[in-house]
Amino acid sequence: DAKTTQPTSMDCAEGRAANLPCNHSTISGNEYVYWYRQIHSQGPQYIIHGLKNNETNEMASLIITEDRKSSTLILPHATLRDTAVYYCIVRGRSGNTPLVFGKGTRLSVIA
Amino acid sequence: GAGVSQSPSNKVTEKGKDVELRCDPISGHTALYWYRQSLGQGLEFLIYFQGNSAPDKSGLPSDRFSAERTGGSVSTLTIQRTQQEDSAVYLCASSFRGQIYLENTGELFFGEGSRLTVL
Bridge partners (DSSP) listed for residue A101: none
Q: How far is CA A76 from the centre of its chain?
A: 14
Average pLDDT over residues A6-22: 97
- Contact A21/A8 with Cβ under 8 angstroms? no
Integer Rg of chain A from CA = 13
pLDDT of A2 over the 70 cut: no
Q: Using a CB-CB distance cutoff of 8 angstroms, which residues of chain B are in contact with residue A36?
A: 108
Using the Cβ of A69 and the Cβ atoms of chain B, whether some distance falls under 8 Å is answered with no
A contact test, residue of B110, B112, B114, B115 with most A CBs within 10 A: B110
Does A96 sit within 8 Å of B108, measured CB to CB?
no
User: What contacts B53, CB < 8 A, 6 or more positions away?
Assistant: none
B contact test, residue of A93, A94, A103, A105 with most B CBs within 10 A: A93
Reference A70, options A11, A5, A9; nearest CA is A5
What's the DSSP call for residue B9? S
Using CA atoms, how far apart are residues A93 and A111, in angstroms rounded to an integer? 37
CB nearest to B108's CB, from A32, A46, A96: A46
CB nearest to B42's CB, from A43, A92, A103: A103
Helix (H/G/I), strand (E/B), else coil: A69: coil
Q: Output the pLDDT for position B96.
A: 82
Reference A39, options B50, B112, B115; nearest CA is B112
pLDDT tens column, A38-75:
998 899 999 999 999 899 999 999 999 999 999 999 99
CB-count burial class (<10 Å; 0-12, 13-18, 19+) for A111: exposed
CA-based nearest distance B21→chain A, Å: 16
Q: Output the pLDDT for position A15.
A: 96
Q: Using a CB-CB distance cutoff of 8 angstroms, which residues of chain B are in contact with residue A102?
A: 42
Q: Output the pLDDT for position A1.
A: 55
- Looking at chain B, which residue has its C-alpha nearest residue A31? B106
Helix (H/G/I), strand (E/B), else coil: A80: helix
Q: How are strands ordered across the β-sheet holding B65-69? A: B5-7, B19-24, B75-79, B65-69
Confidence of residue A99 (pLDDT cuts 50, 70, 90): confident
Q: Output the pLDDT for position B39.
A: 86
Does A96 sit within 8 Å of B55, measured CB to CB?
yes
CB nearest to B91's CB, from A43, A46, A95: A43
CB nearest to B113's CB, from A43, A95, A103: A43
Using CA atoms, how far apart are residues A92 and B105, in angstroms rounded to an integer? 10
- Contact B54/B75 with Cβ under 8 angstroms? no
Pairing verdict, β B75-79 and B65-69: antiparallel
Q: Which residues of chain B have pLDDT under 50?
A: none
H helix runs in chain B, sequence order? none
Q: Using a CB-CB distance cutoff of 8 angstroms, which residues of chain B are in contact with residue A98?
A: 33, 35, 45, 48, 56, 59
Q: What angle do CA A102, A72, A89 make, to 5 degrees?
A: 25
CA-based nearest distance B9→chain A, Å: 11
Using CA atoms, how far apart are residues B31 and B105, in angstroms rounded to an integer? 12
- Contact A98/B43 with Cβ under 8 angstroms? no
